[in-house]
């Protein structure tokens, strides 16, 4: 591998593996009055945190690199894994560098986690972000604007910096640029997945959880320049699949590698969906809070935790299959993830109406055995190639 690409992949792997958030600590140490605000998946308006001069930090659980010792005591056994590993990270002081935490309303588990946080860490700033499920500007829009204003007030009190409109417009522009770079990355992978393997793209996106957005955008653009220079990355006879269900608790990296080794090119996915929440740019002029609200109402991603009227679920998935010329869909959801698993039958119905093959399995962020998944994904990949040739 080209030394520059090797170094870049090494850098993002180190950031991914660093459960102590060392890069966030270094960012704060560079200037004594800096603040870092953590957030859980899926979507929070990172632009507001950035405009307050603070660093938004995505907290996506402990993955397969954290032994759960105390976290299990806080939850029953039949829920997903991310809340217990997040509690474990906090109780082992790994999240002390964060000056606050935002918990967006994804599901009851995250709601309860925000309550636990308030009880466990009464001195730290905590906010439950009740993202709207009503998309009428007069109802959900007005509500979301009040939520965003309240977040601005909170961060201003915490950091002592007034969030001016021009600072927020600037932050919107910074994140527009970041989302543009990610869109280019996804388009490049869809065109030539053998050059941009998902196992690398995922690490690159994870770096966006801890790096300032300006640095993250630079890194993505550098990767887009370097990856095509790899001469040994050649097209292979593999299946093109869309991976869906991973918008919250993230799969272990080994699972993504396993899917690739089983003969699946992943050409679209919902990993780290919050970083790609908007399909287009948010306007950079005019009232920035209104622009954030309107973007959320009109441009936001469609996923299990977002309300959609009866009959419309699944349209985005069918569209993704067609746009990315995928041959099948793999439902890959965390065990006990109510939003993902309750939505799955509706998505399956939409795929079957359109004759799109699919398979499904579940994972936990600390799953360590991939033999069965490899067999299942390999068989699925072989069978859809046979069907498409028939």
Residues forming contacts to ligand SF4 in the complex (CB under 6 A) are: 80, 82-83, 106-107, 109-110, 248-249, 334, 337-340
| Nearer residue to ligand SF4 within complex by CB, 109 or 241 | 109
Closest CB 52 distance from ligand SF4, rounded Å:
26
Starting at the edge strand found earlier in the chain, the sheet holding 358-363 runs: 264-269, 239-244, 328-334, 358-363
Nearer to ligand SF4, 80 or 204 (CB): 80
Nearest to 103 by CA among 202, 28, 37, 175: 37
**How far apart are CB 127 and ligand SF4 at their closest, in Å?**
17
**CB 76 to ligand SF4: min, Å:** 12
Give the helix/strand (H/E) hosting 16: helix 3-17
For ligand SF4, the closer CB: 289 or 333: 333
Write the Ramachandran bin of 123: left for phi over 0, alpha for psi from -120 to 50, otherwise beta: alpha
Nearer to ligand SF4, 58 or 334 (CB): 334
Q: Which is nearer to ligand SF4, 38 or 83 (CB)?
A: 83
Smallest distance, Å, CB 116 to ligand SF4? 13
Q: How far is the CB of 344 from ligand SF4 (least distance, A)?
A: 12
Nearest to 55 by CA among 74, 34, 70, 73: 34
Query: At its nearest, how many Å lie between ligand SF4 and the CB of residue 140?
Result: 20
Contact 300, 132 (CB under 8 A): no
The CA distances from residue 244 to 132, 228, 376, in Å, are: 23, 26, 16
Comparing CB distances to ligand SF4, the nearer of 126 and 181 is 126
Residue 118 phi/psi, 5° resolution?
A: -65, -35
Residue 367 corresponds to which tokens in the numbers above?
A: 């799953």
Three-state secondary structure call for residue 322: helix
Q: Helix, strand, coil proportions of the chain in percent (round to 5)?
A: 50, 10, 35
**C-alpha span between 314 and 325 (Å, rounded):** 16
Choose between 151 and 273: whose C-beta lies nearer to ligand SF4: 273
Q: How far is the CB of 267 from ligand SF4 (least distance, A)?
A: 24
187, 276 Cβ separation under 8 angstroms: no
């Amino acid at each position: 591998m080209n030394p520059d690409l090797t170094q870049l992949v090494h850098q993002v792997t180190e950031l991914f593996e660093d459960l102590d958030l060392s890069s966030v600590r270094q960012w704060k140490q560079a200037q004594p009055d800096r603040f870092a605000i953590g957030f859980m998946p899926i979507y929070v308006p990172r632009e507001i945190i950035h405009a307050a001069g603070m660093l938004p930090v995505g907290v996506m659980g402990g993955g397969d690199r954290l032994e759960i010792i105390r976290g299990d005591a806080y939850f029953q056994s039949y829920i997903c894994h991310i809340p217990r590993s997040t509690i474990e990270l906090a109780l082992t002081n790994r999240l002390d560098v964060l000056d606050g935490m935002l918990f967006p309303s994804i599901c009851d588990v995250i709601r309860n986690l925000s309550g636990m946080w308030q009880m466990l860490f009464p001195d730290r700033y905590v906010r439950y972000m009740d993202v709207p499920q009503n998309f009428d500007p007069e109802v959900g829009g007005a509500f979301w604007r009040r939520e965003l204003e309240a977040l601005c007030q909170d961060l201003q009190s915490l950091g002592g910096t007034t969030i001016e409109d021009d600072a927020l417009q600037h932050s919107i522009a910074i994140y527009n640029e970041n989302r543009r770079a990610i869109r280019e990355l996804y388009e490049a992978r869809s065109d030539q997945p053998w050059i941009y393997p998902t196992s690398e793209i995922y690490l690159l996106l994870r770096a966006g959880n801890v790096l300032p957005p300006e640095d993250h955008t630079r890194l993505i653009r550098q990767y887009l320049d370097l990856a095509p220079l790899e001469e040994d990355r050649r097209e292979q006879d593999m299946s093109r699949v869309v991976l869906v269900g991973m918008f919250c608790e993230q799969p272990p990296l080994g699972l993504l590698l396993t899917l690739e080794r089983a003969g699946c090119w992943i050409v679209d996915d919902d990993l780290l969906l919050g970083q790609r929440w908007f399909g287009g740019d948010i306007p950079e002029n005019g009232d920035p809070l209104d622009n954030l609200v309107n973007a959320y109402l009109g441009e936001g991603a469609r996923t299990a935790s977002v309300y959609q009227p009866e009959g419309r679920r699944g349209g985005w998935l069918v569209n993704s299959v067609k746009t990315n010329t995928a041959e099948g869909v793999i439902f890959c959801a965390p065990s006990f993830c109510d939003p993902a698993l309750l939505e799955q039958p509706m998505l399956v119905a939409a795929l079957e109406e359109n004759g799109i093959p699919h398979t499904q399995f579940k994972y936990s962020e600390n799953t360590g055995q991939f033999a069965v998944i490899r067999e299942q994904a390999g068989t699925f990949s072989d069978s859809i190639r046979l069907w498409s040739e028939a």
